[in-house]
Amino acid sequence: MLTISVTSIAATEDPSSTADVSPRILRLMTRRRVIESIDGNVLPMRNAMLFRRKGRFWLDILRPGRYMCVLMFWGLMTLLFMTLLAKFALLNTLHDLNLDRSEFITARSVEISIRTNKLITEGDNIIISEFKETPLPLKLTLPDIWTKPNADLYYKCVQRSSKDIISGEPTNGYILVHSNGGLNQMKIGISDMVAIAKVMNATLVLPSLDHNSFWTDPSDFKDIFDWKHFVEYLEDDISVVDHLPPAYASIKPLQRAPVSYSKASYYSNQMSSLMKKHKVINFTHTDSRLANNGLPNPIQRLRCRAMYEALKFTDEILELADKLITRLRDDDKPFIALHLRYEKDMLAFTGCSHNLSKAEDEELRQLRRSVRHWKEKHINGEERRRQGVCPMTPREVAVFLEAIGFPSDTKIYIVAGNIYGQDGVKALQDKYPNIYTHSNLATEDELSPFNNRQNKLAAVDYTVALESDVFVFTYDGNMAKAVQGHRKYEGFRKTIIPDKKNFVKLIDRMDKGLISWEEFSMKVKILHANRTGGAVLRKPGKVVKSEESFYANPYPGCICEK
């Protein structure tokens, strides 16, 4: 029970005395003493005057110019504290999201491994068992082994502008081109020569092809490329003629091997001066004669138009390639095109002989010594392999594909020549029996026009590789560069780019029993999750010869973002 009595001090001492006190003094005395009775206990209460004083205190604080600086300081400190709390909360949320994403990728990777190796997971352990396959929830579903990278935000941007169209002004002279190397090396070189002719305001004579390379193929330009299409497609860019006009036929051409990886200024100044003087220049080398980067955009776009549009193969080549593709897809299942560059010339050139016999290693050494233009004669093959610059062996390819998640019934079309070694592709075929080449997929009659024409067969293989569902290469050579670049140009078709340096470390550790197959497979999947030929900008390198090739990745230059 709560009772409150309010009296003055004088009234307490003598009730009759209040009448003699003035009202003003009584009010003051009343305010001085306020008591509270709770169950008989008497306690002092808050004075009403205190509340009035506190009210005036806050009014004084809020009065401009008095305590405003103090208020602003503590306000800012409070805001800073709340900002830090919000930041840490956001970072923790993002961290959790990244962990969830990692778990999603891991779940998908394990699912792929389950499908191919009949594995199931229990906690962190992986055990072999038969299982009934069930789909993952939609939020866990990620692109599988056949899905190509997303290209929705990108498009080809190779159109010529009106100012890039030739105006019909007189030519400064004629360029004769002797292409060197295999088919793709020559194809890349010819595309550069088209751009160089544009820079020099020169007329390009149809190039001659190399007949003295390792393959000694007698085919010439018209045997492999649709030369009429080549001339017509480029007519707004440069003039292309079948042969020198009579007025220039008697002129002795100036022989030149242009400086490698040169800028446009080298051709517009130094080479153009020579052309105006001699009128006809014969470029004896075409490989890597133009820089990858630092060229004007119209020149880069012209290189792509030449490479991917103008250099069209003959109908004979395209028709055979189309037949092979149709046969590979006769059951509506996807297939891999594999550039297994485990061939004699490449192994001799690189000095790589892993898993070969001593006799085979010696044969490669003798070949390397006999080829005069191969500068390196003494090579440590095992060191090269550890550096990741050797072609993968057939057995390494089989293990690699299995680790990525390709099932054993996957169809594989090999776009390469004869595989070197007494065992050939046996190690690969033991795991993947559905191995095809142009030799066992085409009939003898279909192949008869291609007998002893390795460059024409390489053109067939190139076309099949371009149209395959997945392209995998085991050595970063000219065909690998040309095909992967073309596939990016055509919408980033899936291309698996092996990280050979790290893969070699992993497979050697597994072979020594240091890691299990399950751990090995998971690491390979994670290692190659983003090495699928997606949109990654080409970046200039410190060393021109080792930077990414323009033709392996024409983005930027010929591919633009929407």
DSSP per-residue codes, 402-445: HHHT--TT-EEEE-SSPPPSTTTTHHHHHH---EE-HHHHS-HH
pLDDT of 243: 93
Q: Distance between CA atoms of 305 and 303, rounded to whole angstroms?
A: 6
Per-residue model confidence (pLDDT) at position 71: 66
Place of tokens 């068992």: 129
Rounded to 10 degrees, the C-alpha dihedral 555/559/561/562 comes to: -170
Nearest-angstrom CA–CA distance, 250 and 436: 50
Residue type at position 168: G
pTM: 0.74
Quick one: pLDDT at residue 418? 84
What is d(CA 265, CA 259) in angstroms, rounded to the nearest whole number? 12
Q: Phi first, then psi: what are they for 335, rounded to 5°?
A: -140, 160
Quick one: pLDDT at residue 103? 41
| Intra-chain end-to-end CA distance of the chain, in Å | 80
User: What pLDDT does residue 334 have?
Assistant: 94
Neighbours of 226 (CB within 10 A): 19
**pLDDT under 50: residue ranges of the chain:** 1-21, 25-26, 28-47, 50-51, 58, 93-143
Residues 6+ apart with CB under 8 A from 283: 175, 176, 177, 178, 193, 196, 256, 257, 258, 289
Q: What is the pLDDT of residue 76?
A: 75
Structure tokens at 452: 């002893």
Q: What pLDDT shows up at residue 439?
A: 93
pLDDT tens for 120-147 read: 333 333 333 333 333 433 333 334 889 9
For 104, the token pair is: 């999603």
Segment holding 282, helix H or strand E: strand 280-283
Q: What is the pLDDT of residue 421?
A: 84
Res 416: pLDDT: 83
pLDDT tens digits along 189-244: 999 999 999 999 999 999 999 877 666 788 999 999 999 999 999 999 999 999 99
pLDDT at 115: 40
